[in-house]
Amino acid sequence: MLQRTEPAETLPTDALTIVATTTDAERIEKALPAQDLDRELAELTACIDAGVTRSKKHFATFQKTTMKRTLLFAVPTLIVLLACYLALLQGLLKFQIAIGVDIASPFVMAIASVFIVRWSRRAYPTPAKQVLLAAQRLTEIDDVRAAAPLLDALRWSSDKTVAPQIWQALGRLLPRLTAEQAHELGPERHSMLASWLQTWDMRINHSHFAKIGNRPALGMLHVLGQVGQRSYLIIQPPMKIRVSLLSLSGKWAKGQKLGRDPEIQQAAADCYEALKNQTALAYSSAQLLRASDTTSSSPEILLRPAQGVQQTDPQELLRATSTDKHDDTNV
pLDDT digits (tens, 9 = 90+) for 41-94: 999 999 999 888 887 787 777 667 767 777 777 777 778 778 877 877 777 777
pLDDT at site 292: 53
Specify which of 99-103, 273-277, 310-314 reaches the highest per-range mean pLDDT.
273-277
Element (H, E) at 140: none
Q: What band does 316 get if pLDDT is binned at 50, 70 and 90?
A: low
Residue 116 C-alpha from the chain's centroid: 29
Identify the pLDDT of residue 253.
94
Please, what is the average pLDDT of the chain? 74
Exposed, middle or buried: residue 275 (CB in 10 Å: 0-12, 13-18, 19+)?
A: buried
Phi, psi of 280 (to 5 degrees): -65, -40
Q: Give the pLDDT band (50/70/90) at residue 116.
A: low
Lowest mean pLDDT among 112-116, 119-123, 251-255: 119-123
Contact 47, 138 (CB under 8 A): no
CB atoms within 10 A of CB 52: 18
pLDDT tens-digit profile of 253-270?
999 988 899 999 999 999
Half-sphere exposure of 82 (CA within 13 A, CB side): 6
Give the mean pLDDT of 201-221: 80
Residue-wise pLDDT for 157-177, tens only, equals: 777 888 899 999 999 999 999
Is the pLDDT at 11 greater than 90? The verdict is: no
User: Which of helix, strand or coil describes residue 235?
Assistant: strand
Q: Residue 287's pLDDT is what?
A: 56
More confident residue, 326 or 76: 76
Q: Cα separation of 24 and 4, whole Å?
A: 37
Least confident piece of the model among 104-113, 240-249, 284-293: 284-293
CA distances from 242 to 3, 235, 239, 267, 269 (A): 89, 9, 10, 22, 21
Write down the pLDDT at residue 106.
74
Higher per-residue pLDDT: 318 or 104: 104
